[in-house]
Amino acid sequence: MTFFEKRAYYRLIFVLLMFALVILMIFAATIGAANISFSQAINILLSKLPLIRNIISCGYIDNSHAIIVLNLRLPRIILAALAGAGLSIVGAVFQGIFRNPMADPYVLGISSGASAGAALAIAAGAEYIFMGFGLVTISSFIGALFSIIVVYSVARVGTKVPTTTLLLSGIAMNFLLSSVVSLIMFFNRNRLDRIVFWMMGSFAASDMKRILLLFPLLIGSTLLIYSYSRDLNIISTGEDIAKSLGIEVEKTKKILIALCSAIVASCVAVSGVIGFAGLIIPHIVRMMFGSDNRVLIPFSMIVGAIFMVACDTIARIAMPPLEIPVGAITSIFGAPYFIFLLQKYKRKEL
């Protein structure tokens, strides 16, 4: 297959995956206690599009169904897709930067920082709204950023940030902040259920404000990350090789880590900690389409979105009327795959 044939093939597959994501999102909007058909969901959504709203008739659709789809289910589905896309992109980038197949979006202590910030806000009873956002969301975002700043500062050696030191600093910060969260939970047992539920991840509190927080940051950061995909390909083969080819390795690493940290901090702030998506999706995409980051990053984004929407839908309907934290669903899929990866790389070492 020539270069142009391969590029056309990838574009076709990407378009088909985008179509599959849209169909899945519409299907997910029909699932729940209210009985809404697929055609009704499509008509409700099309009736809000500027160019064709006048030719779509929704008179036969119950107004309450339109409210359920547009105000309750759709924001949640969109936020799940954005979070899944963001975490998967970061997982792909971190696995390339650190040249470690087990690297995930939380490897630098970002999740622990967000968890500590959220736990402090929940323990303090911070149910207030500031600038349209709950203080728990704001506190978790600040905690995530604080964590990555400390990790980066500790790992820095002059103007360089050695990969090994950065990973070790992240591990240390994870242990430290996990201990802080444990202490907060111990001394605030009356709020224990809320803290645990947040730490397991959920899109139950989704709204348009959270989407407006995450969407522009995710799109802007992804475009910038993609512009470095060629450099990331070279860095993945070895930093010495990258330097010999004229790549500014330290500058590129700093930019990519900063962008990825902002994405993860935003995702965790709006949904809590959701594990394994950023670990397994890049591996699946890499097995299907190869390790070229010009392909890996966009395909990780779309497959991650599909995966998260599917997991959140399962979390909503698995045990009605209760809702399972979506992090538990992703872990059910992710943990066995993680064990498979360990076995695979163990065999390579023999």
Q: Which residues neighbour 136 within 8 Å (Cβ) at sequence distance 6 or greater?
A: 118, 121, 122, 126, 198
Task: Specify the 3-state DSSP secondary structure of 160.
Answer: strand
Tens digit of each residue's pLDDT (9 = 90 or more) over 256-301:
988 998 898 888 888 888 888 888 899 889 888 988 999 999 999 9
Q: What is the DSSP letter of 45?
A: H
88 and 281 Cβ atoms separated by less than 8 Å = yes
Query: Which structural domain range is residue 116 located in?
Result: 74-349
Q: What is the pTM of this model?
A: 0.90
Task: Identify the pLDDT of residue 261.
Answer: 87
77-114 pLDDT, tens digit per residue, is: 999 999 999 999 999 999 888 887 777 888 888 888 88
CA neighbours closer than 13 Å in the CB half-sphere of residue 63: 0
Could you tell me if residue 132 is inside a domain?
Answer: yes
Token pair, residue 179, equals 């201990």
Would you say residue 229 lies in a domain?
yes
The pLDDT of 170-191, averaged and rounded, is 89
The pair of three-digit structure tokens given for residue 155, joined into one six-digit string = 């790992």
Is the pLDDT confidence value at 9 over 80?
Answer: yes
Please name the amino acid found at residue 140: S
How confident is the model at residue 256, as a pLDDT?
92
Closest CA to 315 of 153, 196, 202, 180: 202
CB atoms within 10 A of CB 321: 5
CATH number at residue 262: 1.10.3470.10
Picking from 23, 131, 38, the residue whose alpha carbon sits closest to that of residue 81 is: 23
* 222 in any annotated domain: yes
- The amino acid at residue 344 is K
Distances in whole angstroms, Cα of residue 138 to Cα of each of 110, 170, 263, 272: 14, 22, 14, 12
Residue-averaged pLDDT of the chain: 84
Residue 276 located in a structural domain:
yes
Distances (CA, A) of 258 to 174, 195, 220, 222, 294: 18, 27, 13, 12, 19
Residue 159 in domain: yes
pLDDT in tens, 291-333: 899 999 999 999 999 999 999 999 988 887 788 889 889 988 8
Percent of the chain residues topping a pLDDT of 70: 91
* Extended beta strands in the chain, E state: 129-130, 133-134
In a domain, 68, yes or no: no
Q: Give a yes or no: residue 14 inside a domain.
A: no
Considering the domain boundaries, does residue 60 fall inside one? Answer: no
* Contact criterion met (CB below 8 Å) for 140 and 121: yes
- Give me the number of domains the chain comprises: 1
Structure tokens at 160: 């360089």
Q: Which residue has the tokens 């980038």?
A: 93
